[in-house]
Structure formats: C-alpha cells, structure tokens
Amino acid sequence: MAQENSLTAAQAGLLTSGKTLAEELERINQLDHLSKDDQLHLSGDWVQTLVNHVSDYVYVKDRRHRFVAANHQVAFDLGFHEPTQVIGKTDIELHLPDTGSKFAAAEVAIMASKEASIDYEEKLILANGKRRWLSSSKFPVLNDQNEVVGIVGISRDITERKKSDLLQQGQNKVLQEIANAKPLQDVLETLVLTIESQMDGVVGSVMLVTENGKNLQAAVAPNLPSEYVDLCDGLPVGPKVGSCGTAVYRRESVFVENIHEDELWEDFREAVSRFEMRSCWSVPFFGKDTQVLGTFGLYSNEVRSPTEHEKKLAVEAARLASIAVERERAEKEIRFLASHDVLTGLPNRHDFKAKLAEKIECSRKTGDPVAVLFVDLDNFKFVNDSFGHAIGDRVLTIVAERILSVHDRRHQSIRFGGDEFVLIVEGKDADKPALIDLMARLKNEITKTIRIGDLSFHVTCSIGAACHPLDAENAEQLLKNADKAMFEAKSQGRDGYKVFENTRPGTSVNRLTLLEDMRSGIAKGEFHLKYQPQYDLFTGRIVGAEALARWQHPVLGELMPEQFIPLAEDSGLIVPLGRWVLFEACRQNREWQREGLVPITIGVNVSARQFRDVGLITDVRETLGRTGLAANYLELEVTESLLMQNADQAVRLMDDFRKIGLKLAIDDFGTGFSSLIALKSFPLTRLKIDQSFIRDLETDENDRSIARAIISLGRELGLNVVAEGVETAKQQAFLASCKCETVQGFHFGRPMSAEKLGKLLGMSLTTINARFG
Ligand SMILES: Nc1nc2c(ncn2[C@@H]2O[C@H](COP(=O)(O)O[C@H]3[C@@H](O)[C@H](n4cnc5c(=O)[nH]c(N)nc54)O[C@@H]3COP(=O)(O)O)[C@@H](O)[C@H]2O)c(=O)[nH]1
C-alpha cells in the first residue's frame, strides 16, 4: 500500500525536492496515518489538480461537440472564470464562426474514423483579433459497444514557436526571392506579409524615395486600404510629413503612438480620420552609399508604441528591404550598362536590330514610314590624336547631346560604335523631305563650334538616311542602305548628308563589301596609278607629276579615290595600299629615267594613318633601294591638318625624310590651321595652294589676295609653290603675274596613264608647251 501510495504521490507531483531518499520514505510511511478522506482526495483529485494546472488546454467533448469537461486554461482563454462556464457549449458558440467550424470539422473526422489525431496544427482567431496556433491531439472515446461517444483532447498553444517559424520561413523566402531576382514588388510584399504574420492588428507598407530624393512612392502595402495608399503616394519628404515622410527626412526611426494627436500628423489628420489605423511606426532604410532608399512602415489599429520585439522586427524588415532595393537597383544598373553606352548614356547597338524590326512591323500595320539615319563623324581620329582621348570622349558626349537636342528626344538615338550614331526616325519625320530637313539640322548642330576649356574647334560629320518601305524591306537592309548613303556622303568630300538612292541596283556601294573587295583587290592588283603633270610656269617644262590612285573594281568599274580612300583610311587598309602606291610611283619614275626621259619628281600622297605608321620610313627606304630611284625624285605630299595633328612628331619624321634627301610638300595649303611659326619649323620643300583658292581667282578678290599671299609666303620661306586645280588661261595668267613657279591642273593635263605621261616627257618642249606660248 505504502508502495502504491508512494507512486501515486510521486505521480501527483508531491515528491518534494531537497529530501534524501530515507527521509522521503519516512514521509511517505507517515501517509498511512492520513485520514481516509485525505487519502481519497489524494488518490482521486490528482488528475484534476494536474489538469487544472497545466498550461495546455485539456477537454472532453460529447458526440455533438459540446464540452463535457475542460480545464481552467480553456475557460480563461475563452474569457470565463470557471471551467463550468464552458460546459455544454460548442466551439461554434465559443469561437468566431470560421474557427469554430474548423474545430468541429476536424473532430467529425476523428469520430468518423475512430482514429486519434496526434499533434496536428490548428489555427484560431480570437474574438479580439489575436491569432493563436495550437498543436492538438484528440482521441475518440468509445463505449462498450465500440461506439463513439465523444472525444478527449489536449491542445498546446504553440503561437510563439509558430511565429518564430513563420518569421524564419518568411526571411528565407525573402532572401531566396532576392537571390532569384524576383521582381522587387513581390519581394517587398513577401516581406510585409512576413512581418504582419508576427503582429496582431498591425499592417505594413514599404515606401520608396524617388530618384530626386524629394518624394515618397508607395511600393507595397498589401493590407492597407488602397485609398489610403493613393493618399500617401507622392507625398513629399519633410520634417512634418506623418511618420514615413519624417523618418526619411530625419534619417531615423519615427514611432508615432497616436496619429490623432501627434503633431507630425497634424496636416494629414483629417484625411486619415476615416481609416482605422491609430499608430504608425516607420523605420527608414539606407543604401550602401548612405542614401535613404525608403522606409518600412507599420500601422496598428491601437493607440500604442511598438514593443521592443516589434521594433526589432521593423528594423530587421527595413534591413531586408534595403537589400532587396539595392539588388534591384544593381540589376537595373547592369541591364542599363548592357544596353547603353556609358560615355554618352545613349542606348548602344545591343538589341538594335530587334528594336528596328519591331518598328518596321509596326510601320507595316500603320502605314507610317520608318527611317534610319547613320551619322559618322569625319576624321574623328584627328580629334583623338590631336587633343587626346579625354577630349575625344568629351566631343562624343557633346555630339550625343547635340543629336538629342535636334529632335528633342523624339527619336531613338543610338551610339552605334566609336564615332557612329544611328537614329530611328518614325512617323511624319521619316518622310524623305522631312528627313532631309532633319539631316540638315543635325549637321548644322553637330558642326557648331565645340569649346572645351581653352580649346575651340569643329567636327564635321557625314550622314546617310534610308527609309522603310521605300528603300528597304527589313531592318538589316534598312541599316545597310542608310550606311551606304552615309558612305556616299563621305565619298563626296565628307561634311554632308545623303538620302539613299537605289538607282543602280546591284552596283551600289556597300561599305563592308567594298572593304572586303579592297582587301582582295590590293592582292589581285586591281589598283593602278594615274599621273598628273606639274609644269614650270616659266619654262613650260614638266618638272613633276602627282601619282593618283585608281581602282579598277571588277563589278563597279573604275573607282575614284574619293570612293575608296576614306574607307581605306578608316579601316587601316590605307597602309598596305599606300605602300603599294609608293612602290609603284617610284618604280615608274625610275623606269622613265631608265628610258632616258627628262627626270621629274614624283609626288605621292600620304594620309594621316600612314604618317602615324612607324614603318613608313622603313618602307620609303626599302622602296628607294628596291626601285633604285634617287630620293630627290620622290616628294611626299602631306596635308596641313595631318601635320598639325602632332606637330612635334611630324617635324621629327620629316627631318628624317629630309635627311634621306626626300622632298616634302604641304598639300591643300590654306585650308587647315597651321600657324606660320609651325610652318617655319617643318622642313618643307614645297607649298601646294589648295584648288579652292584657284577656282574663283577670276571673280573673287579675296581668293586672289590669298593666292598672292601664299605665293609670296612660299618665296619668303624659300619654298617652291605649286598652284593646283588650274583650269583656265586667266588663272594661269594671274599666277604668272604673281610669279608662281609651278602649276598643275586640267588646263595643262588631266591625270593620265604612265604610258601617256611617258610620251609627253619624250616630246619636244615646243610641242607640249603650246599653252605656254
Ligand atoms: N592617301 C592617298 N590619297 C590619294 C591617293 N590618290 C589620290 N588621293 C587623294 O584623293 C583625292 C582625290 O584625287 P583625284 O580624284 O585623283 O583628284 C586629283 C585630281 O584629279 C584633281 N585635279 C587636278 N587638277 C584639277 C583641276 O584642274 N580641276 C579639278 N576639279 N580637279 C583637279 O585634284 C586631285 C589632286 O588633288 P591633291 O591631292 O590635293 O593634289 C586627292 O585629294 C588625293 O590627295 C593615294 O594614293 N593616297
């Protein structure tokens, strides 16, 4: 008995601590002396005692779900004082309808199956709106006939654990969504819902700060009334703009306990009076650069401050919001960088064809034309070489800005490559007359003076346009044709514009094809030289000839330098082509000499790209060596602008050429910007007056003055002066009156074959010099 009693007592939790085993046994032995009544109490009520003191809910319900027995915890949490107050009632009567029905449904299933349900989760919302999660185990109670008479159950409140799980899951979900690059809205919504799951009667929102830092924009507020969200959207940031606007302004958390009384809400009190929220707590969040990105707001329907736990949650939420926003911005930045040119900020050629194809598709439906404009800066390398890449970059930025200003950003402008820009023009502006007007405006704007620091200069450009459906069916063709038109504009002397003309189908010039043709054409010997004679104006003798390249294209026929030299210069092919010209001109000149003809100087044009090529001096030396031509019969013609690109280097190279004994002529003199001081330092032998001053000599007094000045300047500097482009006897007479020594032009002879010039050189002076009579 003592044994039984001791077990019963131990089970009832009466084994007291701090006693030795012997003492305990002695104490239990004494229980024998208890009264029968006490013994009854101890043996019967221990269950009741236990049940009433556990924090779990313990209950028995009959077949109709009415409480038959319940412990104190059930009664208290349902708002009663005594368990007897719940007896006879059902969950549907005791809980909100939804919660009550869910309990009943689960118990119906247990009774029907006669199977216990162990440790399953139940969620309930209490009458005060608070949420609870229970872990319940319910057992069917069977009578002797094995019929269900009710259930007995025990439920444990696992709300805290559940919230902690939900928080953990929510945080993981947010981080996963960030890692998976989910849209920002989705991530922020998960975040808000996660935080809301932790608090009763509280809803959240995320407001973002606009790019200019001056306003708030509602990002997400899934459980706030949409009218309220609309009210907040666009609010300014300021010292007294509710909780959020002020938190951003102060760059610190703002916890407003009562929005109906706090002065920060004074200006919005009336507007928010129709909504339920009573307090608002806002925690701003920051980017890595310490700039405020937005704020995490919590609204409670009670007048109160947040608990310490709630504050921590809001701060954690703000931290996650900042990660999400920063990630989104970084991604936007990456996307922007992938599709835009960093220097000018314009879209780059990425996706260009797809975009153009889309516009063409659209134009097919609407019937409106689409045009492509190809803008290419002329001699942009000159800018880079002369002023350095930093200035070159600045020029490109200025050009991009100018392009945008011309059409007021109405058309998509793309930086297509180094110094190439492409515009997609839509609607009425894509009609040909409007296109021409647009190109003229673009050209005028781009060529305006550029001022960077102390520098002041111009860049010119060549523009081509092609239009869908007139000139091309698809995006690729449209771009190609605009490029061709641009190339035509370049070929016609640069600084111009051209609309595509499909006059010679199959034979029109395509830059890329032409480039390939040129590469193979050099190897196949498709190039030849023509020679234009230069005469001594007083003796009538041929004293020199200028070698001028021609290309016998297998399909296009004979091409003039203007049709291929710019492309050769841009592509670098001018170096091998120039090497061939140099060799051929020297070889031919030496051959005339071997034939016993009067020795003359042969002039060879050298472009800027060749001049920069470190191998030029070696090429010249080798050419002279291989052909056997004496250096004083070779003259290199360089342009004024070429010399000025890098005057110091030019002087050094020219000195080297002079040391070999070469002659050096400055071509197109008068069109560039060489200063007289610079001119003095170049070891030149000859000035060639540009054709543009000769053309109008008869009518233009200014041109006459310039020509006269150049001739006298040359004389002063001890240089021979050649007037080129002489077409009339009057021009010849004027030049003679100025004592210009040498002339070249159609009036005396067009560029001709080597054979023809050889014959001229072999003729007697009287025959050939009729014009000098
Ligand atoms: N780097 C290289 N440039 C070259 C080479 N071969 C030619 N060129 C350059 O191409 C430009 C055009 O040359 P071309 O079409 O041959 O024209 C020359 C003459 O035909 C023309 N000319 C001569 N006299 C007259 C005239 O009385 N009237 C008139 N309208 N044109 C005339 O002028 C061109 C020669 O000019 P210039 O070179 O300035 O002396 C030309 O600029 C060549 O430089 C090459 O191999 N490499």
Look at residue 404 and tell me whether its pLDDT is greater than 80.
yes
Q: Do 453 and 503 belong together in one domain?
A: yes
The whole-number pLDDT of residue 6 equals 34
Rounded mean pLDDT, 133-155 = 95
Rounded mean pLDDT, 635-645 = 82
Tokens 């007007």 found at = 437
Check pocket membership of 745 for ligand 1, CB cut-off 6 A.
yes
Q: How many domains does the chain have?
A: 5
- Give the model's confidence band at 606: pLDDT under 50 very low, under 70 low, under 90 confident, else very high: very high
Residue 402 included in any domain: yes
Look at residue 505 and tell me whether its pLDDT is greater than 70.
no
Give the distance (Å) from ligand 1 centre to CA of residue 116: 104
Q: Do 185 and 103 belong together in one domain?
A: no
Residue 560 CA: nearest ligand 1 atom is 15
Report the alpha-carbon distance of residue 489 to residue 403 in Å, rounded: 18
Look at residue 225 and tell me whether its pLDDT is greater than 50.
yes
Among 190-194, 232-236, 646-650, name the one with the lowest average pLDDT: 646-650
The whole-number pLDDT of residue 93 equals 93
Alpha helices in 342-388 (DSSP H): 352-366, 380-387
Give the distance (Å) from ligand 1 centre to CA of residue 147: 116
Q: Which residues neighbour 231 within 8 Å (Cβ) at sequence distance 6 or greater?
A: 268, 271, 272
CATH of the domain at 700: 3.20.20.450
Give the distance (Å) from ligand 1 centre to CA of residue 197: 83
Share of the chain above pLDDT 90, in %: 66
Look at residue 406 and tell me whether its pLDDT is greater than 80.
yes
Residue 355 included in any domain: no
- Give the model's confidence band at 627: pLDDT under 50 very low, under 70 low, under 90 confident, else very high: very high
- Number of H helices and E strands in the chain, helices first, is 30, 26
Check pocket membership of 640 for ligand 1, CB cut-off 6 A.
no
Rounded mean pLDDT, 752-757 = 96
Look at residue 675 and tell me whether its pLDDT is greater than 60.
no
CA 449 to chain centre: 29
The whole-number pLDDT of residue 14 equals 35
- Kind of pairing between the strands at 67-70 and 57-62: antiparallel
Look at residue 189 and tell me whether its pLDDT is greater than 60.
yes
Q: Do 152 and 166 belong together in one domain?
A: no
Q: Residue of the nearest CA to atom 33 in ligand 1?
A: 725
- Give the model's confidence band at 749: pLDDT under 50 very low, under 70 low, under 90 confident, else very high: very high
Q: Do 62 and 27 belong together in one domain?
A: no
Q: Residue of the nearest CA to atom 21 in ligand 1?
A: 725
Check pocket membership of 751 for ligand 1, CB cut-off 6 A.
yes
The whole-number pLDDT of residue 44 equals 61
Tokens 């031509």 found at = 629
CATH of the domain at 63: 3.30.450.20
DSSP secondary structure of 555-608: TTEEE-HHHHHHHHHHHSTHHHHHHHHHHHHHHHHHHHHHTTPPP-EEEEE--H
The whole-number pLDDT of residue 35 equals 66
Give me the amino acid identity at 403: I
The whole-number pLDDT of residue 770 equals 54
- Select from 108, 139, 157 the last residue of a domain: 157
| CA 691 vs CA 250, 603, 604, 726: distances in Å | 72, 16, 17, 7
Give the distance (Å) from ligand 1 centre to CA of residue 265: 80
Give the distance (Å) from ligand 1 centre to CA of residue 548: 6
Q: Do 185 and 303 belong together in one domain?
A: yes
- Helix orientation angle between 2-11 and 36-53, rounded to the nearest 10 degrees: 30
Q: Do 588 and 713 belong together in one domain?
A: yes
The whole-number pLDDT of residue 181 equals 87
Report the alpha-carbon distance of residue 460 to residue 629 in Å, rounded: 40
Nearest to 296 by CA among 376, 207, 213: 207
The whole-number pLDDT of residue 22 equals 60
Residue 296 included in any domain: yes
Q: Two tokens at 376?
A: 């290419």
The whole-number pLDDT of residue 507 equals 45
Residue 343 included in any domain: no
Measured at the CA of 413, the angle between CA 412 and CA 414, to 5 degrees, comes to 120
Q: Which residues neighbour 705 within 8 Å (Cβ) at sequence distance 6 or greater?
A: none
Check pocket membership of 532 for ligand 1, CB cut-off 6 A.
yes
Share of the chain above pLDDT 70, in %: 91
Report the alpha-carbon distance of residue 28 to residue 39 in Å, rounded: 12
- Select from 338, 371, 386 the last residue of a domain: 338
Helix (H, G, I), strand (E, B) or coil at 86: helix
The whole-number pLDDT of residue 642 equals 75
Rounded mean pLDDT, 125-144 = 91
Check pocket membership of 667 for ligand 1, CB cut-off 6 A.
yes
Give the distance (Å) from ligand 1 centre to CA of residue 531: 10
Helix (H, G, I), strand (E, B) or coil at 130: coil
Among 78-82, 187-191, 558-562, 673-677, name the one with the lowest average pLDDT: 673-677
ipTM: 0.93
Check pocket membership of 518 for ligand 1, CB cut-off 6 A.
no
Q: Do 151 and 183 belong together in one domain?
A: no
Residue 350 included in any domain: no
Q: Do 41 and 76 belong together in one domain?
A: no
Q: Do 179 and 125 belong together in one domain?
A: no
Residue 621 included in any domain: yes
Look at residue 126 and tell me whether its pLDDT is greater than 90.
no
252 vs 333, higher pLDDT: 252
Task: Dump pLDDT digits (tens) for 698-716.
Answer: 888 888 988 998 999 888 8
Probe residue for ligand 1, chosen from 494, 548, 564 as the CB with the greatest number of ligand atoms within 8 Å: 548
Q: Two tokens at 151?
A: 């259930």
Give the distance (Å) from ligand 1 centre to CA of residue 632: 22
Q: Residue of the nearest CA to atom 26 in ligand 1?
A: 725
Q: Do 188 and 287 belong together in one domain?
A: yes
Q: Two tokens at 77?
A: 């949490």
Task: Dump pLDDT digits (tens) for 577-586.
Answer: 999 999 999 9
Q: Do 320 and 417 belong together in one domain?
A: no
Residue 694 CA: nearest ligand 1 atom is 27
Q: Two tokens at 198?
A: 């932790």
Look at residue 677 and tell me whether its pLDDT is greater than 70.
no
Check pocket membership of 635 for ligand 1, CB cut-off 6 A.
no
The whole-number pLDDT of residue 364 equals 87
Is the C-alpha dihedral spanning 334, 339, 343, 344 positive or negative? negative
Report the alpha-carbon distance of residue 534 to residue 531 in Å, rounded: 9
Residue 514 included in any domain: no
Q: Residue of the nearest CA to atom 25 in ligand 1?
A: 725
Task: Dump pLDDT digits (tens) for 41-74.
Answer: 666 667 777 888 889 999 999 999 999 999 999 9
CATH of the domain at 289: 3.30.450.40
Residue 347 included in any domain: no
CA 133 to chain centre: 49
Give the distance (Å) from ligand 1 centre to CA of residue 586: 18
- Kind of pairing between the strands at 601-605 and 542-553: parallel
Tokens 């005339």 found at = 592
Give me the amino acid identity at 608: A
DSSP secondary structure of 327-347: HHHHHHHHHHHHHB-TTT-SB
Give me the amino acid identity at 253: S
Which DSSP letter does residue 150 get?
E
Contacts by residues 655-660 (CB-CB < 8 Å, ≥ 24 positions apart): 655/683, 656/617, 657/617, 657/620, 657/683, 658/683, 660/620, 660/621, 660/624, 660/631
Mean pLDDT of the chain: 88
Give the distance (Å) from ligand 1 centre to CA of residue 725: 9
Report the alpha-carbon distance of residue 219 to residue 184 in Å, rounded: 9
Q: Which residues neighbour 549 within 8 Å (Cβ) at sequence distance 6 or greater?
A: 527, 528, 529, 561, 565, 577, 581
Among 353-357, 380-384, 466-470, 644-648, name the one with the lowest average pLDDT: 644-648
Q: Which domain holds residue 97?
A: 54-157
- Select from 157, 188, 205 the last residue of a domain: 157
Report the alpha-carbon distance of residue 11 to residue 182 in Å, rounded: 56
Q: Do 187 and 308 belong together in one domain?
A: yes
Task: Dump pLDDT digits (tens) for 536-572.
Answer: 999 999 999 999 999 998 888 889 998 899 889 878 8
Which DSSP letter does residue 133 get?
E
Check pocket membership of 565 for ligand 1, CB cut-off 6 A.
yes
Residue 751 CA: nearest ligand 1 atom is 20
